[in-house]
Amino acid sequence: MSTELSAQAIVDNLAAVHQQIEQSAKRAGRDPAEITLVAVSKTKPMAAIEAAYAAGQRDFGENRLEELWEKVEAAQRLGLEEIRWHMIGTIQSRKTNLVIGPFALIHSVDRLKIAQRLSRDATAAECVLSVLLEVNVSGEESKHGFTAESVRACAAELFALPALQIKGLMTMAPFVADAEETRPVFQALRQLRDALHAQQPSARLPHLSMGMTNDFPIAIEEGATLVRVGSAIFGSRTP
């Protein structure tokens, strides 16, 4: 169950988030245009997505494949043809075939087995998937992802998969009262990206997907190119 906001509230929230993105980018000496806001619309109705779309938002993130596909189909019926869908949730190995679709980016490739199965399914569908490798930088047991050591150990195998274009890395920082405490996590992801690039010089790894509602300004200061913001736009979600 979620707390639903009016269309005007969503428009106002989007404007406020964009202002924060611009301010954070300027503090870091970055161009705000380098940063893509992914509006996390999981559990939210299509009316909320329509309101954000009308305000110019085009990138939306979902974490459940079934819900994502329902919204893809609904958006097509509604004529929201410019939406770029992002899969940000955990992918079960038995559902990798459901990730073969019109998605801009898959943020959550969290282990070698998933990467291999996605490549297999994409090869069968004669397509190439744009993906990010999810890394559990913080080491929290509740979070999915490669460790920094494991992603480096299997980097050659990952980058050799024929139907995946690995575009960068994703992480989630711990939820803490003081967002400043998340900075080392984001710094570590950026440093890992640079190490992987040195290890695989032919790889292009432009993206760091990091930062959510409570910490995205810090993530931007540390190099995020994609921030995943939900409740700051659409209102809080309740269990």
Digit-coded pLDDT (tens) for 133-184: 999 998 888 788 999 999 999 999 999 999 999 999 999 999 999 999 999 9
Q: How confident is the model at residue 4 (pLDDT cuts 50, 70, 90)?
A: confident
C-beta separation of 129 from 165 below 8 A: yes
Number of helices (H), then strands (E), belonging to the chain: the values are: 9, 8
Confidence bin at 3 (pLDDT 50/70/90):
low
Beta-strand pair 84-87/59-62 = parallel
What's this model's pTM, rounded to 2 decimal places?
0.95
Burial 55-94 (b: 16+ CB within 10 A, else e): bebbbbbbbebeebeebbeebeeeebeebebbbbbbbeee
Cα-Cα-Cα-Cα torsion 195, 134, 4, 218, nearest 10 degrees, comes to -20
Q: What tens digit of pLDDT does each residue of 91-135 get?
A: 999 999 999 999 999 999 999 999 999 999 999 999 999 999 999
pLDDT tens-digit profile of 182-233?
999 999 999 999 999 999 998 889 999 999 999 999 999 999 999 999 999 9
Read off the pLDDT of each residue in 12-40 and give the average, rounded to a whole number. Answer: 98
Q: What backbone phi and psi angles, to 5 degrees, belong to 111?
A: -165, 165
* pLDDT attached to residue 131: 98
**Gap between the Cα atoms of 146 and 9, Å rounded:** 38
pLDDT tens digits along 36-82:
999 999 999 999 999 999 999 999 999 999 999 999 999 999 999 99
Cβ atoms of residues 89 and 145 within 8 Å: no
